[in-house]
Amino acid sequence: MANIVAIVGRPNVGKSTFFNRLVEKRQAIMDNEPGVTRDRHYGYAEWIGKFFTVIDTGGFVTGSEDKFESEIRKQVKLAIDEASVVIFMVDCRDGLTGFDKEFANVLRASKKPIFVAANKADTPDKSILAAEFYGLGLDSEIFPISAENGGGTGDLLDEVVKVFPSEGTEDPEAGIPKITIVGRPNVGKSSFLNALLGTERTIVTDEAGTTRDAIHTRYKLFGKDFILVDTAGVRKKGKVKDDVEFYSVLRSLRALEESDVVIIVIDAERGMESQDVNLISLAQRQGKGMVIMVNKWDLIEKDSKTSDKFKKDILEKLAPIDYIPIIFASVLEKQRIFQVVEKAVEVFENKTKKVQTSKLNDIMLREIEHYPPPSIKGKLIQIKYITQVNARFPSFAFFCNLPQYIQESYQRYLENKIREHFTFEGVPVRLIFRKK
């Protein structure tokens, strides 16, 4: 059983503030943008090595308090049903309200472990006010917290993780690549997805709407496990009448955040467009793996040089980014569509691999000796030692005497050499220069 924590409580007590602190993402903020309905929010969080899913029920409760009986009660009940633990949030500054008491009644009926978080206890004198909430008559201890400054949240979480039904010490999806398909409207994203869905019947789970915003579908293909992160916008397009474009951009940004590798689909007839370039540079900054799929290749009249010309055009638009694999495919003719997925899995492996320090130093120090950093203002610059540091994507620390004097052109030389010797196709590589 999964560890799922639901945060409930009346509006404005600080639920989404706490949620954001837990998942350290800006999801809730994004959804407050006009034109997008704020819906249920899910995130993945960790406390002292235990992993859990958090539900912020704040999105349900947008109406006034007199709507409690109908909408709120129904929605909160749903969230509580899904949860294994409930954090009931109240507001120290407002004190105990009638609305809080109504919530407490719903919660008492649920029989789930409940923790009362008395929020906005920013200072010790405010914490004293928390005692008032024993008046709710719940069996729970009251935890004074400050979602804003973090005070008391550690004590609360220490207790919450103790009642988890499962160990939950690991992200169940850790080590399995999360892949997302993005691209402009009409490039063939849904067709691609359907082609994969249609021929591949070994779907392990389809968690649609159960634990996340985006749909995560797990597959096995040629013995490789992977998860397709699909944004609701991709499959249910046209559902949101206004702001479709805006909504789908928000959705793909979120999918991007949740993924390890992004497949950027472009239309062969239209070529690489500025939106694609923007998306790729965003993905690069986020350290995501990437594969470019040039779809509808069947529509192009070809000779032996066509694909090279295409590649050249793409690289020119992406310069200086030159490490992303490009695959020419046709979903219509089922040409190379599995190759795209295989490549994405390979890119994930590149993204997560670790180069042995001894090997890294052997090879790179030799390259540095062969072409040392040019001296600046008569100062000799020496790189002494290199190591790959733990990070979300391949990052290398170069220890040197004068890190501030390593020029950009030399950094590019080093990056090229790293790419040449240790395959990092499809992934951004970061170089860090430290003083030693």
Query: What minimum distance in Å lies between the beta carbon of 41 and ligand GDP?
Result: 10
Query: What minimum distance in Å lies between the beta carbon of 321 and ligand GDP?
Result: 23
Minimal CA–CA distance to 261: which of 172, 191, 345, 318? Answer: 345
399 to 428: interface string for ligand GDP, x by CB under 6 A: ------------------------------
When asked if residue 332 is in the footprint of ligand GDP (CB under 6 A), the reply is yes
Within 289-308, the residues that bind ligand GDP by CB under 6 A are: 295-296, 298-299
Per-residue b or e along 114-150, where b marks 16 or more CB atoms closer than 10 Å to that residue's CB: bbbbbbbbbeeebbebbeebeebebebebbbbbbeee
When asked if residue 15 is in the footprint of ligand GDP (CB under 6 A), the reply is yes
Query: Which strand (E) or helix (H) includes residue 292?
Result: strand 289-295
CB 83 within 8 A of CB 42: no
When asked if residue 58 is in the footprint of ligand GDP (CB under 6 A), the reply is yes
11 is in an annotated binding site: yes
When asked if residue 100 is in the footprint of ligand GDP (CB under 6 A), the reply is no
Residues constituting the chain: 436
Within 172-201, the residues that bind ligand GDP by CB under 6 A are: 183, 185-191
Structure token pair of residue 336: 């190379």
Give the Cα separation of 127 and 146 in Å (integer): 9
Q: Which long-range contacts (CB under 8 A, 24 or more apart) does 242-249 make?
A: 242/35, 243/35, 243/36, 246/33, 246/35, 246/36, 247/35, 247/36, 248/185
121 is in an annotated binding site: yes
When asked if residue 98 is in the footprint of ligand GDP (CB under 6 A), the reply is no
**What DSSP string runs through 232-254?**
HHHHSTTSS-TTHHHHHHHHHHH
When asked if residue 330 is in the footprint of ligand GDP (CB under 6 A), the reply is yes
230 is in an annotated binding site: yes
Query: What minimum distance in Å lies between the beta carbon of 330 and ligand GDP?
Result: 4
When asked if residue 119 is in the footprint of ligand GDP (CB under 6 A), the reply is yes
**CA angle 375-378-381, nearest 5°?**
35
Residue ranges of the annotated binding site for GTP are 9-16, 56-60, 119-122, 183-190, 230-234, 295-298
Residues that bind ligand GDP (CB under 6 A): 9, 11-17, 58, 119-120, 122, 146-148, 183, 185-191, 295-296, 298-299, 330-332
Residue ranges of the annotated binding site are 9-16, 56-60, 119-122, 183-190, 230-234, 295-298
